[in-house]
């Protein structure tokens, strides 16, 4: 969608935007998206259901509530919108890395848990694919990515607000205060982890989108838990996947002599 819209965008509007424009317009657009998503997503989804089947209606609703974000990135970056969102990176490499990093979850869950016999392709599309791709597009590539890459904000302030919102949006999964607290903390830490990987793997959107999707998919395929918190074995294999991702990232950067993007000079603000 972004690529098609930017095809006809004049070249003179493809300059790198000023940091002050990004730091004002990105949070504003994100706030508008959050409000539209909260108050109109369900209504929009049910309206679209009158004209098409459920999966396509859900996909279209996700796209439509994200219009403020797409419009903003095109205004700010023009022809460079695809690059700004990390979508010009290798899709195949992103898929391969995501598959490798989630192997502990797929293998571990297959051994410990029962296969979900009631799972169908519609649930996979809605709960794994759409959730993974759209959440990473809106929260990581747009909100975190644009703030961290194109302003003087450091990693922590760039990731913190989006992570808190991201965690808050998952609280519907339980009514128990203890479980809700666990879900909130887990999703906030997860948001920080995804932001770190996104940054150190050269802002490859496809990588984090596939990683999020495959983590969700493994959770759904083998009934690993009823919510994002999960149980003991659910988290054992999830931690193993995270540890594997961290280990391979460190080894890869070391072997290739790559500099760490996130360091003491970029944690709070860029010097």
Cα distances from 135 to residues 98, 132, 209, 211, in angstroms, run 16, 6, 8, 12
Please write the tens of the pLDDT for every residue from 18-67: 888 999 999 999 999 999 998 999 999 999 999 999 999 999 999 999 99
Inform me whether the pLDDT recorded for 102 exceeds 80: yes
**Cβ pair 9, 79 in contact under 8 A:** yes
Token pair 């990473």 is found at: 136
Tokens of 37: 């998503």
Q: What are phi and psi of 226, to 5 degrees?
A: -90, -10
Residue, of 210 and 112, whose pLDDT is higher: 210
Beta-carbon count within 10 A of 112 CB: 15
Give Cα 38 distance to the centre of its chain.
18
Residue 9: pLDDT above 50? no
pLDDT score of 113 more than 60: yes
How many CB atoms within 10 Å of residue 163?
Answer: 24
pLDDT at 230 over 80: no
Crossing angle of helices 155-168 and 19-48, in 10° steps, is 20
Residue 15 has pLDDT above 70, yes or no: no
Q: How far is CA 218 from the centre of its chain?
A: 17
* Backbone dihedral region for residue 86 (phi beyond 0: left; psi -120 to 50: alpha; all else: beta): left
- pTM for the model stands at 0.87
Q: What is the pLDDT of residue 19?
A: 86
For residues 182-204, average pLDDT: 88
Angle between helix 54-65 and helix 67-77 axes, rounded to 10 deg: 50
> Once rounded to an integer, what is the mean pLDDT over residues 93-122?
94
Residue 24: both structure tokens together? 């004002």
The answer to whether 165 touches 192, Cβ cutoff 8 Å, is no
């Amino acid at each position: 969608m972004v690529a098609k819209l930017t095809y006809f965008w004049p070249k003179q509007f493809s300059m790198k935007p000023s940091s002050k424009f990004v730091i004002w317009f990105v949070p504003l657009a994100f706030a508008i998206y959050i409000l539209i998503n909260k108050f109109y997503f369900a209504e929009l989804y049910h309206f679209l259901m009158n004209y098409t089947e459920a999966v396509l209606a859900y996909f279209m609703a996700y796209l439509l509530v994200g219009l403020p974000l797409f419009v903003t990135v095109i205004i700010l970056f023009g022809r460079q919108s695809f690059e700004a969102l990390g979508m010009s990176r290798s899709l195949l490499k992103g898929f391969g890395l995501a598959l490798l990093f989630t192997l502990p979850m797929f293998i571990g869950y297959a051994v410990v848990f029962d296969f979900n016999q009631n799972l169908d392709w519609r649930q996979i599309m809605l709960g794994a694919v759409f959730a993974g791709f759209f959440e990473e597009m809106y929260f990581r590539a747009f909100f975190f990515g644009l703030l961290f890459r194109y302003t003087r904000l450091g990693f922590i302030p760039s990731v913190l607000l989006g992570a808190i919102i991201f965690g808050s949006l998952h609280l519907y999964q339980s009514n128990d205060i203890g479980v809700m607290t666990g879900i909130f903390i887990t999703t906030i830490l997860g948001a920080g982890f995804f932001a770190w990987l996104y940054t150190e793997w050269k802002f490859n959107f496809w990588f984090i989108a596939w990683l999020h999707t495959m983590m969700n998919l493994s959770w759904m395929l083998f009934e690993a838990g009823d919510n994002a918190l999960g149980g003991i074995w659910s988290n054992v294999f999830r931690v193993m996947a995270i540890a594997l991702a961290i280990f391979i990232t460190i080894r890869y950067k070391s072997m290739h002599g790559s500099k760490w993007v996130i360091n003491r000079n970029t944690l709070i603000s860029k010097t």
